[in-house]
Chains A and B, each alone.
Chain A
Amino acid sequence: MRLSKAWIVASKDFKTFTKRKSILYTIIYFELIVSVGIPFIVRFAETKAARAGVLPNLLDAFSFLYVIGAGLAPLGIAAYSLVGEKIQKSLEPLLATPTTDEEILAGKSIAAFLPAMAATYIGALIFVALIDLFTHSTLNYYYFPNSNFAIILFLLAPLACILSVGYNILVSSRVNDVRTAQQLGALILVPFGALYLLSEIQVLHLTTGNMLIVAAVLAVVDVIVFYLVKATFRREDILTKWK
């Protein structure tokens, strides 16, 4: 597989996204709410929470939102990337070029993965800066960065993003409009949402060990989804079986 070819495919998609503002908004909204909104909520609630001794647990739970964000951010891009090609009927001329199925698939995946992760990391930087600013006087130390947040950002978030990209490609092969693809694609977030709720209500503690277990499970699911996507993304099937 030639990465240069995959990059050409991805670059074209980046260019398309800059012209389709609605796709950019789907990436930005959630990150903005989590990265700016939550620190301000923490700022107003921190004294009470610190007194109750739950502030660190609360911050750990909030930081898990970046896993959800990494899964959510590629929804719009991945859905548009393939369903958009189907709607515009541009897959046939694309598949007629001397580009392999793997190169096209890799290009589409990069196009969804990179902006999603970039948004996640930029959002995380803002989140860390604001949380440290607002909680330092109460905690007397900078809560972030810490090892748990590093696992979230550099292990769980990319794995969640890869899963979301793969799952959305599978969904996109079955549907014909972007909105349906996004709605069905969002189902991938349900398990992450459940984990977040469990951590918020203190049923599940986001300890390093627990997060590594979640990461291991995600990695296995990612591999399974990768093989499913590879089996789905075959040019003959795309032209004759995809709806």
Chain B
Amino acid sequence: MNMIEVKNLTKQFGEVTAVDSLTFHVARGEIFGLLGPNGAGKTTTIRMLCCLISKTSGEAQIGGYSIGNGADSLVIRKLIGLVPDNIGLYEELSAYENLDYYGKLYECPEAQRKERIEYYLDMMELWEKRDQSVSDYSKGMKQKVAISRALIHDPELLFFDEPTANLDPEASKVVREIILKLKTDGKTVFLNTHNLDEAQRICDRIGILKTKLLAVNTPEELEKTVWGNIRTVIQVEQINDQILAAVRKLNPKDLSVEENNIILILADPQKENADFVQAIVSAGGRIQNVTQLNPGLEETYLKVIRETK
């Protein structure tokens, strides 16, 4: 059974449709990234899935429990942990007091609560500063406390809403590593992000949202679907007819030459690149560079978003 099942989920605020007929699923243990511009409905989607706001229509289940059902809402909130875009810690309290408060709200028994607070603060390298007021912490440290807060009741599913926004590169890297560790611990992660590089690095699958869900797939498949074939560029010191004949013999899907670059479109570049390199070398060519012209997630994302305008 999938951790998240969403079917035609819609949210309207008066006349405005914030989220329109979303249908997707997130498997257990998967990191799913939701990408989209500001106002695309990412936070609204998370809020609906966390039972913070109601849906207008459609269905969504978290761990088999329905988000529209009042009785299921409390069960769902126990299954999930939320790291919102605003960290939202109590600045007067210490990291320990913040986590202890949430541990109580999540109904963790005292012994377990103490154990988990120590475990997570230790993991986040904050144990030594546990009694220090959170107001004295850096943004990165606060984000670590916010993540610990979401984990205090050992949830199966974690929602992260822009977790690295406003963090410096070092702190962002730490947050990404924590998310990847959560995956190895068997947790399911739902990630809202603007950061395409981050999404490409850590997400198993990605959804592109702009009120409607425009595409869902793995980053690689998304690129293939959007751009078609990926080009391989082989830079050769001097191109001659013998080299071109050797290349043509291997039947590439497409072949073109620009200056001293042989540009190929191959059915399966991962397997075929080596054959083409060998053929060129055998024909006396001296290879200077082999590059795969990969449009990347950023270009893919922008193309998808632009095409919906």
Contact = CB atoms under 8 A, between A and B. Distances in A.
Contacts of B102: 93, 97
Contact of B88 (A5, A15, A92, A98): A92
Given A98-B107, A239-B47, A92 B84 contact: yes
A172 B146 CA distance: 25
Contacts of B88: 88-94
A236 B84 contact: no
Interface string B89-114: 11111000100011011110000000
B52 A16 contact: no
Contacts of A90: 88-90
Nearest to A5: B105
B203 interface: no
A235 B54 CA distance: 10
Given A19-B92, A89-B88, A96-B77, A8 B101 contact: yes
A235 B80 CA distance: 17
A16 B50 contact: no
Interface SS, A side:
helix
Contact of A97 (B13, B77, B133, B146): B77
B93 A92 contact: no
B294 to A, nearest CB: 38
Interface in A83-128: 88-100
Give the one of A8, A9, A93, A100 with max B CB within 10 A: A93
A59 to B, nearest CB: 41
A12 interface: yes
A8 to B, nearest CB: 5
B213 interface: no
Interface in A196-243: 235-236, 239-240
B86 interface: yes
Given A19-B92, A90-B89, A235-B53, A96 B82 contact: yes
Interface in A46-100: 88-100
B101 A12 contact: yes
A20 interface: yes
A12 B89 CA distance: 12
Contacts of A15: 93, 97
B82 A240 contact: no
B84 A93 contact: yes
Contacts of B104: 8
Most buried by B among A16, A89, A98, A235: A98
B86 A92 contact: yes
A96 to B, nearest CB: 4
B180 to A, nearest CB: 23
Interface in B45-74: 47, 50, 52-54, 74
Given A89-B87, A98-B78, A240-B13, A20 B92 contact: yes
Contacts of B84: 89, 92-93, 96
Interface of B: 13, 47, 50, 52-54, 74-75, 77-78, 80, 82, 84, 86-93, 97, 101-102, 104-107, 133, 146, 149-150
8 contacts: A88-B90, A90-B90, A92-B86, A93-B84, A93-B150, A98-B75, A98-B78, A98-B106
Interface of A: 5, 8-9, 12, 15-16, 19-20, 88-100, 235-236, 239-240
The 10 A-B residue pairs whose C-beta atoms are closest, nearest first, are A89-B86, A90-B88, A97-B105, A98-B77, A96-B82, A19-B92, A89-B88, A236-B53, A92-B84, A98-B74
Given A15-B93, A93-B149, A96-B80, 9 more contacts: A8-B105, A15-B97, A16-B90, A90-B88, A92-B52, A93-B102, A96-B84, A98-B106, A236-B53
